[in-house]
Structure 1
């Protein structure tokens, strides 16, 4: 923040990881519309390995039990990923003390921040969380593990030690043919298949993937799974 000049407290701050891709429409809305409350969650379309596999909702308790799960199985439902990504610079500074991770962790109502919160709401509207984007009308795309097989292997090898399970510790999980098969079939490292196939359509309007992904030769491996 010390490197940024000429800021105003109603300027918009966004916290996004490299695999969280906001839509242009969501950003324009925040820029032009006056009156939205903070902090803001973005509703992301959550895909894995590429834009052709949607993350499904986790199975229920009965569905997760072998044999019994078959009796209670149901059609997989898409899971909307919601993450706290937006607040004003005023809230970031006064409430969060310029610590962006406090925004991501949504701790504005923590008792340790009570005095900071009171100072902020004394001259601003009361804090009110809300979500921008839902299924079918997303505020962005979240593409997890969206690499080539070689990139996924590197990610496995580079995972932090406290990440559990650390699949990179198992040599068979690092095999490129094995990784490519996961990408092709929508499988996961634990043997499950927790994704929903979503083929690209001719009339896609940015719902499947951002236009700059679809129109670039660099990212075609994220648009169509390996044959």
Structure 2
């Protein structure tokens, strides 16, 4: 064989050897991955389900793994009201505080780095240095709570707890358009709320049969990685159940939660209402405030770029589990009948209510399907509201009634522009942060 032919043949063999070697490596990696998945599925990891369907998903001593690896998409699990037991976790209060030179300070509200630098020069630091927006000797009072106590005008003895109080937050889904805002709420409050109870009826507000939209979204991965704090309670009102969805849901839920304490806090808000996370954390850590609690929520419209001229919506929503049982007969709707402690004022809000903050193509359907009396007063003839009309009024800064002028919000000038989770994921929620239909630069 000529030398040139031998060189060509040798190069050809080299290419084949490289390709076959690369293919063999890919096969080995795939086999290793399949073996790992099989060992996982065969129980070499901690089991997801305990005996009798119990789940101690929040107990640090028996932490349950809720993710499952495999060839399919990452899957997570939420709780339903069938064969489930839930045990809520209690945390030690010390994890929220830090000691600098024998001075105990609230970590979230304290400029710890400044204190450490200061201690190098003065050898000893005798007081906590608060971050902007925090007050108190240990910097544990966020601005909204500090102002609430000033407005309360009654003597209050605030004491740090020895262990955290648990917070249970219930809301009801009435329309699929509400689900993105509900997901924002769960992400915003995930580190503070111990259990989200989500109720949904099999009937819409006009009494027509519908699927459980929130459950369908959970099954497709909504709030992935956070579902273990969600208890979904389907309400079958088509069977003739006359009680409200929230009352039925709580009756189911309190039987499932096996370690409820009398001083645990129960909060019920609308799916579009997000309480101030700093205020909720204060409630977890301290005693001495008076219940029930009312939240004064910033009233946004269409997105966080507009605010209703009334500025705020007041919602009485928080009580202890014991108060809910003894005073309100386990009916969450009755909490709204009284108010003692108000969180939020017209400049420092106790949370956010984002009205009609849906995709523009969902708003006409929502308005057609709702029979809410308050909304009925605000809306024009349903037939007049279409996408073209909505683009016009959103661009002009007009409320859904076609006449009320909305207030423009500017992120750089407003410390309460939007929930922190939305601000941190700006581009994901750009439709809520930026007015895409703005026709002029309002000043």
TM-score, reference length from structure 1: 0.73
Instruction: Choose between structure 1 and 2 for higher RCO, CA contacts under 8 A separated by at least 6 residues.
Output: 1
Structure 1 pair 90/84, CA: closer, same or farther in 2 (3 Å)?
Answer: same
Say yes or no: does 1:212 pair with 2:421: yes
Say yes or no: does 1:221 pair with 2:428: no
| Superposed CA offset, 1:147-201 (max 9, x none) | 121121121121128663484854221x212112222222133321242111221
Mapped partners of 2:376, 2:312: distance in 1: 23
Aligned to 2:282, which of 29, 36, 40? 29
What's the counterpart of residue 340 of structure 2? Answer: 129
Say yes or no: does 1:172 pair with 2:384: yes
Name whichever structure is richer in helix by fraction. 2
Query: 1:49 touches 1:222 (CA, 8 Å); kept in 2?
Result: yes
What's the counterpart of residue 63 of structure 1? Answer: none
Query: 2:299 touches 2:355 (CA, 8 Å); kept in 1?
Result: yes
1:179 aligns to what SS in structure 2? helix
**Which one is further off, 132-141 or 5-14?**
132-141
Mapped partners of 2:276, 2:340: distance in 1: 20
For structure 2, the residue ranges without an aligned partner over 5 or more in a row are 1-253, 438-443
Mapped partners of 1:139, 1:9: distance in 2: 24
What's the counterpart of residue 75 of structure 1? Answer: none
For structure 1, the residue ranges without an aligned partner over 5 or more in a row are 58-78, 108-127
Aligned to 1:56, which of 292, 309, 312? 309
Computed over aligned residues only, the root mean square deviation of the Cα atoms, in angstroms, reads: 2.1
What's the counterpart of residue 91 of structure 1? Answer: 323
Query: 2:301 touches 2:399 (CA, 8 Å); kept in 1?
Result: no
Query: 1:45 touches 1:138 (CA, 8 Å); kept in 2?
Result: yes
Correspondence list, 1:9-28, <5 A: 9-28=262-281
Matched positions, count: 182
Correspondence list, 1:145-160, <5 A: 145-160=356-371
Mapped partners of 1:199, 1:180: distance in 2: 20
Mapped partners of 1:137, 1:153: distance in 2: 32
TM-score, reference length from structure 2: 0.39
Query: 2:380 touches 2:400 (CA, 8 Å); kept in 1?
Result: no
1:103 aligns to what SS in structure 2? helix
Structure 1 pair 97/33, CA: closer, same or farther in 2 (3 Å)?
Answer: same
1:52 aligns to what SS in structure 2? strand
Query: 2:378 touches 2:401 (CA, 8 Å); kept in 1?
Result: no
Instruction: Point out the structure with max Rg over C-alpha.
Output: 2
